[in-house]
Amino acid sequence: MIPPDHPRYHSLVTRERLAKCMLQGIVSPEGLTAHGRGEAFDYFLGERTTDSALLAEKIAAALLLSAASPVISVNGNTAALAAGGIAELQRACGARVEVNLFHRTEERVRQIEDMLRRAGADVLSGPAERLLPLSHDRAWCRRDGMFSADVILVPLEDGDRCEALVGMGKSVIAIDLNPLSRTSRKATLTIVDELTRALPSITRACGILSEDERRSLLAGLDNHYLLSEAIREMTTRLSHALD
């Protein structure tokens, strides 16, 4: 029982939810450690959406809306934290939603797809094939989903798939609180923000961006700048942490 007046109430409730989803098999045990790493970086950011993250979220909306075949890739942590947020973003940008797992079992795929459907998402189903140039199970995807997508949103990614997708000519949008990760540096666009803040922000931007705004956001896309700004925000906060 977590008392609502606990100063870390939100964080504790989120952990409890992830632990429950881990026991159900939706989140992998490794997903709990991934969440802990994310929490640490979120502390450095001050647990808020920075100006540069907000800019990245608007560019993400522009990329998704301008895509011919956008896909949102969902893993266990993403479903547990934000199944409803995924469904809302899908409604706002028209992307396909596809489950793609590192610790893949057919049972986990089915459980995560069911969770997303219960939250209102329209989830790609049907047989997956080993289509991505990867030696692990993230290679499994759908021909009419990730394989043929031009823009892919990958929240909480684990590394080399991002590089493989970019190598296939796709634009990859990562959501990752760690601006130093391989994913963050290899993605076309990285949103250094917490997933449950980033998704509604992208959804909001999808609803308000004009054609002209989209064009100018896309023309200004500079991932190196966005990552440098995220690192600058963190180091500035750290250097004043005890003031």
Number of shown-chain residues binding ligand PTJ (CB under 6 A): 25
Judged by CB under 6 A, the residue of 175, 187, 205, 226 near ligand PTJ is 175
Instruction: Find the shortest distance in angstroms from Cβ 44 to ligand PTJ.
Output: 11
Stretch that binds ligand PTJ, among 16-24, 29-37, 44-52, 113-121 (CB under 6 A): 29-37
Interface with ligand PTJ includes 199 (CB under 6 A)? no
Judged by CB under 6 A, the residue of 50, 52, 77, 203 near ligand PTJ is 77
Instruction: Find the shortest distance in angstroms from Cβ 194 to ligand PTJ.
Output: 4
Judged by CB under 6 A, the residue of 49, 181, 190, 203 near ligand PTJ is 181
Interface with ligand PTJ includes 117 (CB under 6 A)? no
Query: Would you state the structure tokens that stand for residue 217, as one six-digit string?
Result: 């956001």
Interface with ligand PTJ includes 97 (CB under 6 A)? no
Longest dimension (CA), the chain: 56
Q: Please, which residue, 66 or 87, has the CB nearer to ligand PTJ? A: 87
Please report how many Cα atoms fall inside a 13 Å half-sphere around the Cα of residue 186, on the Cβ side. 18
Give me the 38-67 binding string for ligand PTJ, x by CB under 6 A, dash otherwise. x--x--------------------------
Q: Please, which residue, 85 or 214, has the CB nearer to ligand PTJ? A: 85
The gap between the terminal CA atoms of the chain, to the nearest Å, is 34
Instruction: Find the shortest distance in angstroms from Cβ 215 to ligand PTJ.
Output: 28
Partners of residue 73 on adjacent β-strands: 98
Q: Please, which residue, 31 or 85, has the CB nearer to ligand PTJ? A: 31
The single-letter code of the amino acid at 106 is: E
Judged by CB under 6 A, the residue of 18, 152, 195, 206 near ligand PTJ is 195
Return residues touching ligand PTJ (CB under 6 A).
Answer: 28, 30-31, 34-35, 37-38, 41, 75-77, 81, 101-103, 156, 158-159, 175-178, 181, 194-195
